[in-house]
Amino acid sequence: MRAVIVAAAVAFIISLFGTPVAIRVFTALKAGQPIRSVGPASHQGKKGTPTMGGVVFIIATVLAYAAGHVALTTLPERQIAQESPTMTALVLLGLFVFCGVVGFLDDFLKVRRRNSDGLSAKGKLLGQLIVGGAFAIVALYVPSTNGETVASEHISFIRDISWLDVGKVGSVLVFVFVIMSMSNGVNLTDGLDGLATGASILVLGSYSLIGFWQYRHWCGDSDYARVNDYCYQVRDPLEIAMIAAAAAAACVGFLWWNTSPARIFMGDAGALGLGGLIGGLAVATRTTLLSVIIGGLFVIITMSVVIQIISFKTTGKRVFRMSPLQHHFELAGWSEVNIVVRFWIVAGICVAIGLGLFYSDFLATMG
C-alpha cells in the first residue's frame, strides 16, 4: 500500500506544479488549440488556449511509477516480489506513452497548421493499430518466469471466462480492439473543460482499487494461495494498482488547471494516452467486458456518435442536435459546468456499478 500511496502523491505533486510550467511554455510556443468552426459557438472563446497538456500527466505518471518502486525497497521481503519493473508496467506505461505520442502528432499538426485538421482519421487509427498491435504481442507472447502473461487468451468479465478461449491470435485482435475503442472513447469525451479528465480520474481510481484488491488476493502470493481456494490469476497486480493510482492522481493535479474555465487542454496527447492506458488496465486485470460498465460514460458518448452517423447516412436525419452527446446538451441550453458535473455523476454511477459487480463476484466465490 505504501508504494501505491507514494506513487499517487508524487504524480499529484508533479502534475499540480508542472502544469502551470507547461501552460507558460506552450503559450510562449503559441501552441494554442484551434477551434472547429462547426462546433458550438460558445467554444470560439476558447481559441488559443494551450493544448497538449496531457504530456504533463503522462510524464508525471512515469516518474511516479519510478518513485513507487523506490518505496517498494523498504517493504518486508515477502512483499517485494515485484521490486523490479515488470512486463506489465512496460505494457501499461508503453500504451500510455505511445498512444499519447499518436495524439501528440495530431495536436502538433493542428497547432502548426493553425486549424483543427491534424492527423487524418485513417492516420490516427493506423497509429493506434500499430501501438495496440505491438503491445498486444508483448502482452500475449512474453510470459513471466511462472508462465503468466500480461493478457489472457480468454475473454474476461470479472475474471477469465473459461469457455471463451479465443487463442493468442484472437486475443491480440481483442486487445487491439479494446485499446482503440477506449482511446477513441476518451478522445470523443474530451471537448468540455475538465470532462474527460474528471471521468478518467474515476475510472483510473477504480482500477487502482481493483489492482490492489487482486494483489491482496493474488495467486502469486504463496502465503495467500496456500490457505485460500480462490485467488486472482493475474500478473503483477501491485504494478497495476501503482500505475492506475499514479495516473489518477496526476489527472487530479492536472484538473486543477483544466477545470472551467480551462487554462490548458489535455489535447489528443492526453485523451488517446488515457484511453490506451485504461484499455490496457482492463486487459491486465482480466476485466475486459466489465470495463464497458466501468467506462460507461465513454461508451455512451461513443455510441452517440455511432448512432448519429448511422441515422444520418441511412435516413438523412440527425438523432442529436450535435454529437458527441455533450454538444447536444450544449445546444439544448445546458451550461458547460452543468453538463460536466452531471456527466461526472453518470461516470461515477457506472464506476460504482462496476466495482459493485467486481466485489459481489468475490463474495459469491468466497461464500
Res 365: pLDDT? 77
Question: What pLDDT is attached to residue 58?
Answer: 97
pLDDT given for residue 77 in this prediction: 46
User: How far is Cα 344 from Cα 292, in angstroms, rounded to an integer?
Assistant: 16
What is the model's pLDDT at position 80? Answer: 44
Q: Alpha-carbon distance 131 to 96, whole Å?
A: 10
Per-residue pLDDT of the chain (367 residues; tens, 9 = 90+): 888 999 999 999 999 999 999 999 988 888 776 666 556 656 666 777 888 999 999 999 999 999 988 877 665 544 444 556 789 999 999 999 999 999 999 998 888 877 767 788 899 999 999 999 999 999 999 887 567 899 999 999 999 998 889 999 999 999 999 999 999 999 999 989 999 999 999 999 999 999 999 998 888 777 666 667 678 889 889 999 999 999 999 999 999 999 989 999 999 999 999 999 999 999 999 999 999 999 999 999 999 999 999 999 999 899 999 989 999 999 999 999 999 999 999 999 999 999 999 999 888 876 6
C-alpha cell at 206: 477504480
- Residue-wise pLDDT for 278-319, tens only, equals 999 999 999 999 999 999 999 999 999 999 999 999 998 999
Q: Using CA of residue 4, residue 6, residue 7, residue 13, what is the dihedral sign?
A: positive
pTM, two decimal places: 0.93
- Per residue in 191-248, pLDDT (tens digit) is 899 999 999 999 999 999 999 999 988 887 776 666 676 788 898 899 999 999 999 9
Q: How far apart are CA 29 and CA 242, in angstroms?
A: 34
Cα separation values, 216 from 18, 135, 140, 228, 235, Å:
33, 27, 24, 12, 13
The confidence score (pLDDT) of residue 78 equals 42
Q: ∠ at Cα 10 (5, 15), nearest 5°?
A: 130
Task: Give the per-residue pLDDT at 157.
Answer: 94
* CB 58, CB 270: distance < 8 Å: yes
Residues 81, 220: contact at Cβ < 8 Å?
yes
- DSSP code for 12: H
Whole-angstrom distance, CA of residue 174 vs CA of residue 178: 6
Write b or e for each residue in 294-322: b if 16 or more Cβ atoms lie within 10 A of its Cβ, otherwise e: bbbbbbbbbebbeebeeeeeeeeeeebeb
State the pLDDT at residue 125.
93
Rg (CA), the chain: 20
Per-residue confidence (pLDDT) for residue 70, from 0 to 100: 80
DSSP 8-state assignment for residue 45: G
